[in-house]
Structure 1
Amino acid sequence: MKGLLLVVLLAAAASAAIVSQDIAEAPEAIVTYENILYSDDAEVAEIEAGSRSVEIETRRNLSVGTIGNSRLLVSSQHIRGAIANTIIVQNITFNFAASIRISAIRVTRVGASQNATPSIVSGGLNRNFVTIRLQSARGRGYNYRIQIYGR
């Protein structure tokens, strides 16, 4: 029994060393956030008219590109609580090294739907940066997991 425990502990230590090595080799992403709160419908219409969104999914999830031989560059979770009678808009920009190209972007809702909408505002596939906009429904919040794959 002690021998089995020793083998399990050694395997766990070896896998932890491999995981930390992969994280150390992954290119660092520079992540910037822009948070905007809107309580007026005219303000929301103005910002939506001023930005040309590349991709909007109506199912409240966003999935573009193929993973294939790519590796996971970023996995992050973004949570915002509800604010009464307010639409929350958050622009999240991921910048990578010039040699990195994004091959897939997955923005997945976590938990129950609150009718938020993810979209790609700039950059995206075959680029080294992407700006993703998360927009809540009026008076609601959101909880999304963002995964970006690249080569």
Structure 2
Amino acid sequence: MKSLLLVVLLAAAATAAIVSQDVAEAPEGVVEYEEILYSDETELAEVEEAGSRSVEIESRRNLSVGTIGNSRLLANTQHIRGAVANTIIVQNITFNFASSIRIAAIRVTRVGASQNATPSIVSGGLNRNFVTIRITSARGRGYNYRIQIYGR
């Protein structure tokens, strides 16, 4: 009976946990996260207005820029966030690499069923050594994305 209770508690903890798996193949890479929750439309509008002055390259359900070619995989991460009632989740993920590395391709791919989240590039990007990717969820929804960064 105790083992069954333990298994149920572990399963509950595992499903409630926020999973963020970081596997950077380049030892010179650093990943930083910033997560913000918005329940007020005016707060989100102010952030989006400020972000519109940045380098937003593409704003769709998947994001794919650059060509892989002879590049190597610098970072392969998966970002999963559960839904929060009546809240929009905005997460900025910044990848920093050594100054000698240049990003050649960025792939942000939705995993599983669509929850209408939107990935976008807000700073850095191709031919730079850093990139900041913003994932914005739909109100009351979560997201599940895989981010792959290639470079030379």
What's the TM-score bracket when you normalise by the shorter of the two chains? 0.7 to 0.9
Aligned to 1:106: 107
Could you report, residue by residue, the CA deviation over 1:7-61 in whole angstroms, capped at 9, with x for unpaired residues? Answer: xxxxxxxxxxxxxxxx4xx343111111100001111110000112421232x00
Q: Could you say what the CA RMSD is over the residues aligned between the two structures, in angstroms? A: 0.9
Percent identical pairs in the alignment equals 79
For residues 47 and 75 of structure 2, the distance between their equivalents in structure 1, rounded to whole angstroms, comes to 27
What displacement does 1:87 show? 0.1
Query: 2:55·2:124 contact (CA, 8 Å) conserved in 1?
Result: no
Aligned to 2:84: 83
Aligned to 1:18: none
Aligned to 1:146: 147
TM-score, normalised by the number of residues in structure 1: 0.81
TM-score, normalised by the number of residues in structure 2: 0.81
For residues 58 and 72 of structure 2, the distance between their equivalents in structure 1, rounded to whole angstroms, comes to 24
Q: Gaps spanning 5+ residues in structure 2: where?
A: 1-24
For residues 120 and 65 of structure 1, the distance between their equivalents in structure 2, rounded to whole angstroms, comes to 13
Q: Which amino acid aligns with 2:39?
A: S
**1:99-138 pair list within 5 angstroms:** 99-138=100-139
For residues 140 and 82 of structure 1, the distance between their equivalents in structure 2, rounded to whole angstroms, comes to 4
The structure number with the bigger radius of gyration is 1
What displacement does 1:77 show? 0.1
For residues 43 and 53 of structure 1, the distance between their equivalents in structure 2, rounded to whole angstroms, comes to 20
Query: 2:66·2:126 contact (CA, 8 Å) conserved in 1?
Result: yes
Could you report, residue by residue, the CA deviation over 1:74-109 in whole angstroms, capped at 9, with x for unpaired residues? Answer: 000000000000000000000000000000000000
**1:1-150 pair list within 5 angstroms:** 23=25, 26-51=26-51, 52-58=54-60, 60-150=61-151
For residues 27 and 100 of structure 1, the distance between their equivalents in structure 2, rounded to whole angstroms, comes to 12
Aligned to 1:5: none
Q: Gaps spanning 5+ residues in structure 1: where?
A: 1-22
Higher helix share: 1
For residues 118 and 140 of structure 1, the distance between their equivalents in structure 2, rounded to whole angstroms, comes to 14
| Runs of 4 or more consecutive aligned structure 1 residues displaced over 3 Å after TM superposition | none
